[in-house]
Amino acid sequence: MTISVCEDKEQLAQKAANLFLQIAQRAIEERGRFVAALSGGSTPERTYTLLAQPERATQLDWNKVYLFFGDERFVPHDDPRSNYHMVKQAMLDALPLPAGHVLAVRTDLPTPEAAAEHYEQMLLAFFALPDRQTLPRFDLVFLGLGDDCHTASLFPSAAALTERKRLVVATPPGTLPPPVDRITFTFPLINAARQVVFLVAGSNKAKTLYRALVERPPIWLCPAVGIRPADGELLWLVDKEAASLLPPEQLNPQR
Ligand code: 6PG
């Protein structure tokens, strides 16, 4: 695990966007395509906007890029609370991604459970896996850290935390807004990724980051602690404000 501390939110977004490009270019060189899972919330929005700007967007062959969502709110795609909606506005509308390369959660299905089941089937079909016995490996999973220590939509005390077989599940709203049902990747799927990157910024995240990285409470209290890629890398990209309570020896500011 590496913790990288950026000066501020803007530097964090720039580093995250550059990292996305580097990982994508390497994945395309090595495996012919790049498959990423994006996070919602407010922190990554600037990263997505930077990726869509010509100076970065032109560095990548978007024909070889596939984007999933690590979690989604069960609201229509044009609802401002939708993660898909945020990503679309921030970057998708400006990028030359071919049809079928943005694999959004179908929130028009009758229930969150049906949406989760459908998304899991979509994943298995995309990775050409006959069943869940072999875990799909994302090249990159972006995650956020909620004030209650949730990540993706893996909330404290939720049944989703103990899921070992399914790759995607529906989960009731947590205690933080917005109070809508969610669809989320589970720990086994996230932890199978080649690279997981948390994006955490702002002084309001300092206590939670300290809990997740130093106190390390049990997973049911602090789900972010459950993110431990089995055979991949874990990077915490944080800003100085979020990192303000971390002991200096734990930081790797130069990376
Ligand atoms: C969501 C998320 C969630 C988010 C954290 C942090 O859909 O809400 O994907 O896990 O990443 O709550 O959100 P902020 O970046 O807004 O603090």
| DSSP calls for 114-125 | HHHHHHHHHHHH
DSSP 128: T
pLDDT at res. 126: 97
pLDDT at res. 255: 43
Distance 41 CA to ligand 1 centre (A): 4
Ligand 1: residues with CB < 6 A are: 39-43, 71, 73, 83, 144-146, 150-153
Tens of pLDDT, residue by residue over 36-74, are 999 999 999 999 999 999 999 999 999 999 999 999 999
- Tell me the domains of the chain and their CATH numbers: 2-251 (3.40.50.1360)
Q: Which atom of ligand 1 is nearest to the CA of 152?
A: 10
pLDDT at res. 174: 85
Tens of pLDDT, residue by residue over 199-233, are 999 999 999 999 999 999 999 999 999 999 999 99
Query: Whole-prediction pTM value?
Result: 0.97
Tens of pLDDT, residue by residue over 111-167, are 999 999 999 999 999 999 988 889 999 999 999 999 999 999 999 999 999 999 999
Distance 204 CA to ligand 1 centre (A): 13
For residue 108, which phi and psi values (nearest 5 degrees)?
A: -95, 0
Query: With contact defined as beta carbons under 8 Å apart, do 190 and 35 qualify?
Result: no
pLDDT at res. 249: 80
Distance 153 CA to ligand 1 centre (A): 8
* C-alpha radius of gyration, the chain, whole number: 17
Tens of pLDDT, residue by residue over 78-125, are 999 999 999 999 999 999 999 999 999 999 999 999 999 999 999 999
Q: d(Cα 159, Cα 103) in Å, to the nearest integer? A: 25
Query: Taking the mean position of all CA atoms in its chain, how far away is CA 143?
Result: 3
Tens of pLDDT, residue by residue over 158-193, are 999 999 999 999 999 988 888 999 999 999 999 999
The identity of residue 91, as a single letter, is M
Stretch 6-19: mean pLDDT: 98
